[in-house]
Structure 1
């Protein structure tokens, strides 16, 4: 596991928190529906910041750490596309006004970062104490990849049990009132649908974290790299939501690229667990010498090929469908 200078880690966390606060301040002071140009510019800024951070990792910690960060960031960025699909569904289902969607997404992303931070700390401790956890992580990712392939494109997302419980137990208005959580109606306090939307986004991301956190731990065991990769992947997610818009629904082969990545990292985790095996009932508690350790650069290639191939195939399908419908 790469060793990073403490000053670099602390300075990076402070800088990332400052960037998020500035972003939150901009959104709060100027709520609006961003144009494609604005969204594209901000996505470019956040991608650029991630690449700058990768260069700093190279300088302060060497090529191995930098490679793990880039692979981890790309993994989280590609898996976060699934989050966007769900965000689109949630925004449409609850009829969130376009004027406040930026603020809602920003709050949702902050909730996601807090939840993932807890997951990362727990995951890092489990890995340190129980190396056999990689068997479970690997099996879970392979199963998730299979489920991704079996998922029906037209399958309607259902409200979580928590959301359904709130609807029955809590007085909730039918209309939004800006970014207010509670309003007075008929002389009594009611929650607005904003509460439901944020809970739906938060609980959904919690489920996605069950896939994404084990996936990135298959690339690096550094909790710092895992956390920063997640931050950089989520920071530009809000702008990506507005940039892609309706295009998301037409990327029909994207799930195959995501399934490939999850399955590959799942296999990599199982092989790593076999290589470092400490379970007494397997090979007498000794590692399996035939189980290879897959290098970071191979993971990077698989991630890039998987996402580029799925996106390219989807665009070809879109063009073909457009030609057919134009006849």
Structure 2
């Protein structure tokens, strides 16, 4: 696939303009919570853009390249949905007010997009010069898939990475948020607010997620242009998806199994195709339509089964009789008294961590 420098520049420039427009539309005026209607519109907008871009690739480069883009986009989008679990925990841990969460997500995702672009460039160059890396990527994806299944029932936690720990130690930080500001002056001294620390946490945590998502998409296509654009479109609509399915995240109980199957499939595909390229005749070449079908069917099946199980569990809880006692019911707080979740709480994320079993934690 021959992509000119001008095409790269036009696509990157267009993506940045869309993100700038997104930020201007959402953040103009007073900070406010992201409504479900807004989230639905923006998610539909970004998905439509991705579909139109894929159709454009089909017209310009053929059905095979378009299939690689759609397979890569679905894979990255599926893995990104799982990332939302950790974003949810980060927001809770730092007690980010809901009115500012969309800004935190956008800046954090921009940081992640820049770092992923660098990662993709390095990965593409390495694979072009060292074909044995396909075996390494394949084994790594299978290892990650096994870990997803093994860690399914462990409690989730947010482990601070090196950059985040350094930022918390080195940067003078205000004790509380100052609106949506990233830096403020206190007694003539410039200080950062917790808003910057959260943005660093979101951006760098997503880079750790790229350690398996980037090899996964390289298992579907070796075209750096398709790898980058599929990642970009998956990340661009991520913050709206966060607000749209926030209440649904805890119900996707089988998500880790679905992602494990997809990563395992792509890992095996990488190894088989590497063997095929090395002249091993019994190793078949896996067509892109098969990869696309496996990814799509797996995610639909995982989602449906998760929702059915959540519904059965909810019915079972309602049908369970209360234990015999002294006739006094435990007080349940009304809406006005209910403690805050992602926009309040004690700021350590423990409430959220206890309410959800992990879907994964990538190493």
Q: Give the structure-2-normalised TM-score.
A: 0.83
User: What CA distance in whole angstroms lies between the structure 2 residues aligned with 1:305 and 1:225?
Assistant: 22
Please, which of 281, 286, 307 is the counterpart of residue 315 of structure 1? 307
Q: Which has the bigger relative contact order, CA under 8 A and spacing at least 6?
A: 2
Distance 1:18 1:182, change over 3 A: closer
Quick check: 2:78–2:299 contact (8 Å CA) kept in 1?
yes
User: What CA distance in whole angstroms lies between the structure 2 residues aligned with 1:104 and 1:65?
Assistant: 34
Aligned to 2:271: 270
Distance 1:249 1:129, change over 3 A: same
Question: After superposition, where does 1:174-323 map in structure 2 within 5 Å?
Answer: 174-185=175-186, 188-277=189-278, 287-323=279-315
* Residue 199 of structure 1: how far off its partner (Å): 1.6
User: What CA distance in whole angstroms lies between the structure 2 residues aligned with 1:80 and 1:237?
Assistant: 7
User: What CA distance in whole angstroms lies between the structure 2 residues aligned with 1:116 and 1:192?
Assistant: 26
User: What CA distance in whole angstroms lies between the structure 1 residues aligned with 2:249 and 2:154?
Assistant: 12
2:22 matches 1:23: yes
With 93-102 and 28-37 compared, the bigger mean Cα shift is at: 28-37
Aligned to 1:108: 108
Question: After superposition, where does 1:63-78 map in structure 2 within 5 Å?
Answer: 63-78=63-78
Match of 2:185, SS state, is: strand
Quick check: 1:216–1:226 contact (8 Å CA) kept in 2?
yes
User: What CA distance in whole angstroms lies between the structure 1 residues aligned with 2:162 and 2:172?
Assistant: 17
Q: Deviations over 1:209-238 (max 9, x none)?
A: 111111001111110011110111111101
* Residue 37 of structure 1: how far off its partner (Å): 1.6
Q: Give the structure-1-normalised TM-score.
A: 0.92
Question: Which structure 1 residue ranges, 5 or more long, are not aligned?
Answer: 278-286
Moved over 6 A (4+): none
Distance 1:203 1:8, change over 3 A: closer
Q: Deviations over 1:175-229 (max 9, x none)?
A: 1112322223455443211122112112211110111111001111110011110
Higher helix share: 1
Q: Deviations over 1:39-94 (max 9, x none)?
A: 11111111111111111111111101111111010010001112211110000000
* Residue 7 of structure 1: how far off its partner (Å): 5.9
Quick check: 1:131–1:276 contact (8 Å CA) kept in 2?
no
Match of 1:184, SS state, is: strand
User: What CA distance in whole angstroms lies between the structure 1 residues aligned with 2:282 and 2:64?
Assistant: 23
